[in-house]
Structure 1
């Protein structure tokens, strides 16, 4: 009896210890599950942030592509304008040379030449001149007419020179505007490149953090799996200890029943020995000669 009591006490202590250990492991496992839940929430935030940055980088790359195409077109137009500028400068140089040639020949203004021509023509028509004088007048008129033609040509060339200068100024202004626009777009592309570089770095950092979180989640998941397996072992031990406890308790109860039966038998035997003529009751007979199991079942 004392041995069974000692075993029961020890088993109760072991059962309590197992229950406490199970409680501790379950708490740790629950904490790990909470940690994983928090990590997954943080991971979702980081993934969303990374997606936003990727979208921004994609938009900037598309914008950069459009700006590069625009700057390519502007540079092509600028090359065309520069070629046109060269042509005008070349033409202007030739016209200036030609103008200098005419101006070196024509010293008098057009109106002076015209007045002189009119005078000579009037004189020729209204005066009777010697043949030699008339011949000189005709030659002079021819010379003045040629000079007048050159003067008109010089005037036309001068006008064209002014027009070419005006076109040059216009082209230079346009070139300046194009260059300014190209520089502005180039600066914008540089700014976009800088931002894309920042985004790429931040995206890489976020990917690294997400990778770190995945490793933590994997580590915690493995620990949870180990704890779950350990809990199964602890529950198996607990069931085994409970079975042992129940079996010992049943054995103790059986021993107690046997002890009481033996006590009752002893008393009946004492009564029989004291009074041999006394008849035993059916219950007393069963107690004396019945099997323990039969008496227990009754």
Structure 2
């Protein structure tokens, strides 16, 4: 059965509305993808900071052990343990400024004192070195574990990013299909594709059929609302639309489905600010 000119015009208008809606959804998806990319970048920056802090702690622990060893060596020389300071180093370093300060005094030769380093004997100093070595080993182990955790988290972020990219790409391809095939100006329209989906395999058909049916039902509801508001007085309809500030998109769809005359009468009775917002939604490129 051939469609009347009015029906064809309404169909083209509905398809144009759907095309604009799809463009809005694409813009929203692009914004969400950019937001997700920034979140992933922030997570990676935080993980890199944790990795650097672990390496810094290891360097500090290593420097601490070296300084303790140097202090112990100075104590051994100063206390002249085994005659090392007086018999070996004194003849070599006694005339070197600053360095000769670590050489033992003649009255302290062969004795052990607690004036320097805070150790009563060499065994205490050696025990402290062992403790520091254990701490360094533990720090290195913790650092390796932290690096492993960082690597795992980076790998998980990469996996999630890949999944998200694929999801965005799928949505883009689906939207292009709707725009170029289903909702094209010379396309068969959603009703024809409804029949086509019914002949497909059950799993795929069920998914696609539900989407088409939901869209058709939603369009029918909007048309019913448009008819109801068109039959009302413009001032009364305008007052109702002004109360829909929490869902201006729906109000815009209803108004756009009306005739230009009815739509203009209602907008003229509305608050100018709200009317401007609705006009912008109905024609975002204006």
Range into which the TM-score falls when normalised by the shorter chain: 0.3 to 0.5
Larger Rg: 1
TM-score scaled to structure 2, two decimals?
A: 0.41
Q: Whose helix fraction is larger, Structure 1's or Structure 2's?
A: 1
Higher RCO (Cα < 8 Å, 6 or more apart):
1
